[in-house]
Amino acid sequence: MSSVKPIQRIAIVAGEASGDILGAGLISELRKKYPNAVFEGIAGPLMQKEGCASLYPMESLSVMGLMPILKKLPELLKMRADLARYWIDTKPDLFIGIDAPEFNIGLEQKLKRNGIRTVHYVSPSVWAWRPKRIHKIKKAVDLMLCLFPFEQKIYQHHAIDNFCVGHPLADDVPLESDKQVAREALGIEPDGSLICLMPGSRGSEMKLLGPDFIDAAVLLKQFFPKLRFVAPMANNKRRVQFQSQLTEAEAKHGGLPPITLVDGQSRTVMAAADYIVMASGTATLEAMLIKRPTVVAYKVGPISYRVFKRLLAIDTFAIPNLLSKKLLLPELIQEDCTPDNLFAEVRAWIGDKDNNGGQRWQEVHQAFLEWHQALKKDANVYAANSIEHWWSENGIRQQGVLENG
Give the pLDDT confidence of 5-25 residue by residue, as tens digits: 889 999 999 988 889 999 999
Question: Is residue 347 over pLDDT 80?
Answer: yes
Q: How far apart are CA 151 and CA 123, in angstroms?
A: 7
Q: Is 279 helix (H, G, I), strand (E, B) or coil?
A: strand
Give the pLDDT confidence of 148-207 residue by residue, as tens digits: 888 999 999 999 999 999 998 899 999 999 999 999 999 999 999 999 999 998 888 999
Give the pLDDT confidence of 55-96 residue by residue, as tens digits: 998 887 766 555 556 677 788 899 999 999 999 999 999 999
DSSP designation for 405? -
Angle value at C-alpha 379, between 149 and 391, nearest 5 degrees? 90
Q: Alpha helices of 260-301 — where are they, by DSSP H?
A: 266-272, 283-290
Q: How far apart are CA 270 and CA 282, in angstroms?
A: 14
The pLDDT of residue 61 is: 76
Q: Sign of torsion, CA 135 137 143 147?
A: negative
Question: Given phi > 0 = left and psi -120 to 50 = alpha, else beta, which region is 159?
Answer: left
The pLDDT of residue 58 is: 86
Angle value at C-alpha 112, between 107 and 117, nearest 5 degrees? 110
Q: Do domains 9-166+378-404 and 172-375 have the same CATH topology?
A: yes
Q: How far apart are CA 18 and CA 13, in angstroms?
A: 12
Q: How far apart are CA 70 and CA 116, in angstroms?
A: 29
The pLDDT of residue 141 is: 97
Q: How far apart are CA 131 and CA 125, in angstroms?
A: 8
The pLDDT of residue 400 is: 42
The pLDDT of residue 317 is: 76
Q: How far apart are CA 314 and CA 126, in angstroms?
A: 10
Give the pLDDT confidence of 24-56 residue by residue, as tens digits: 999 999 999 999 999 999 999 999 999 999 999
Give the pLDDT confidence of 103-138 residue by residue, as tens digits: 999 999 999 999 999 999 999 987 666 778 899 999
| CATH class as words, domain 9-166+378-404 | alpha beta
The pLDDT of residue 6 is: 87
pLDDT band for position 240 (cuts 50, 70, 90): very high
Question: Is residue 403 over pLDDT 80?
Answer: no
The pLDDT of residue 271 is: 98
Question: Is residue 2 over pLDDT 70?
Answer: no
Question: Is residue 314 over pLDDT 70?
Answer: no
Q: Is 312 helix (H, G, I), strand (E, B) or coil?
A: strand
Q: How far apart are CA 270 and CA 174, in angstroms?
A: 13
Tell the burial category of 186 from Cβ atoms under 10 Å away from its Cβ (0-12, 13-18, 19+): middle
The pLDDT of residue 202 is: 87
What's the length of the chain? Answer: 405
Kindly tell me the number of DSSP H helices and DSSP E strands found in the chain: 17, 13
> Per CATH, which fold does 172-375 belong to?
Rossmann fold (3.40.50)
Mean predicted lDDT score pLDDT of the chain: 90
Give the pLDDT confidence of 206-232 residue by residue, as tens digits: 999 999 999 999 999 999 999 999 999
Domain boundaries, the chain: 9-166+378-404, 172-375
The pLDDT of residue 357 is: 74
The pLDDT of residue 309 is: 63
